[in-house]
Amino acid sequence: MQTTPAALPAAARHRTPAAEAVVLAEVVRSGFVEGRHRGSLVLLDADGTVSASHGDVRSPMLPRSCAKLAQATAIATAGVDLPGHLTALSAASHSGEDFHVAGVLEILATAGLSPDLLRTPADLPYEREHAHLRAGGDASPLLMNCSGKHAAMLVACAVNGWDLDTYLAPDHPLQVLARDTLAAGAGESVAWTATDGCGAPVHAISLLGLARLYRSAVLSAPGSPARRVADAMRAFPEYVAGDARLDTRLMRAVPGLLTKVGAEAVQVGALPDGRAFALKIEDGAHRAVRPVFGAVLRRLGVADEAVEEICRVRILGGGLEVGRVRAADWLG
């Protein structure tokens, strides 16, 4: 539940003192550095030890949609057994494409539930808002990027006889399970509970804990709830985001990569051998995530020409490329 800033302890009011964040990306125009993005980054070796740590990786932060792995794992733990593409959709920040909407309806239909039960805010499809409206479409809860998660949450409630109307309340049995699943995967206690953009609870953990969460999922026993979600996300990456989206493109390009974006420029990922990373750009600028992600994949030895192109962010002048948003030189 959100609390007014005056009531928060100092540590909760400010996630990271500016002095502790480091420059992760630079905006270069015609050879001139015109801007910088600061943030924090942590990398884990295959055995789980910290191989690199920059900025503040131990203070609480809100993982936003990166927490969907834990939420979907809780849903699976609660007895919801969906086919792979729908399991991926339960962990998605989808684009509202037709197959996403069809998938959300398919999830609800497994328990005979109505879309009217969704508590997601009405939204428009990602980057197709104007075309959707011109075609006579309206905003809909089904189009909101978290609707797959919400649909699966409702199914979990139906399976267990839990209240449907209050499924987003922090003390609802499903949300308690989601919180505990996040804490267990992160290896640390939840430091704060807020309300995410979709209305669901979002819990503060550290960047280090977030990297551990994804590492634990890819290394979980085959068939376990966490592994089922991780495997589904990697097998059906188009359901996790959308055909043109960063998560989808990189999971297609890098064999075995599990990755997820979160609002306010959070990104997390893990490779099948247990190497993992998590990063946050302090100003919330997603344009800085791509080049930093590319640098991380280079350090992990899995970046090729296709990955470099996916992670490239161009700066234009007169319609021509005159620069890039690039990872800081020290990242390699």
Residue ranges per domain, the chain? 19-331
Q: Is the pLDDT of residue 19 over 70?
A: no
How confident is the model over 113-141, as a mean pLDDT? 91
3-state secondary structure the chain: CCCCHHHCCHHHHCCCCHHHCEEEEEEEECCEEEEEEEEEEEEECCCCCEEEEECCCCCCECCHHHHHHHHHHHHHHCCCCCCHHHHHHCCCCCCCCHHHHHHHHHHHHCCCCCHHHCCCCCECCCCCHHHHHHCCCCCEHHHCCCHHHHHHHHHHHHHHCCCCCCCCCCCCHHHHHHHHHHHHHHCCCCCEEEECCCCCEEEEECHHHHHHHHHHHHHCCCCCHHHHHHHHHHHCHHHHCCCCCHHHHHHHHCCCCEEEEECCCEEEEECCCCCEEEEEECCCCHHHHHHHHHHHHHHCCCCCHHHHHHCCEEEEECCEEEEEEEECHHHC
Kindly report, residue by residue over 62-76, the tens digit of the pLDDT: 999 999 999 999 999
pTM of the model: 0.93
pLDDT at 15: 56
Residue that wins the pLDDT comparison between 326 and 136: 326
- For residue range 266-318, list pLDDT tens digits in order: 999 999 999 999 999 999 999 999 999 999 999 999 989 999 999 999 999 99
Band (130; pLDDT cuts 50, 70, 90): confident
pLDDT digits (tens, 9 = 90+) for 131-149: 888 888 888 999 999 999 9
pLDDT class of 332 with cuts at 50, 70, 90: confident
pLDDT computed for residue 133 by the predictor: 85
Tell me the C-alpha distance between 229 and 224, whole Å.
9
**Is a pLDDT exceeding 60 seen at residue 2?**
no
pLDDT tens digits, 66-104:
999 999 999 999 999 999 999 999 999 999 999 999 999
pLDDT digits (tens, 9 = 90+) for 239-269: 999 999 999 999 999 999 999 999 999 999 9
Q: Report the pLDDT value the prediction gives residue 14, as an integer from 0 to 100.
A: 52
Domain boundaries 19-331, corresponding CATH code: 3.40.710
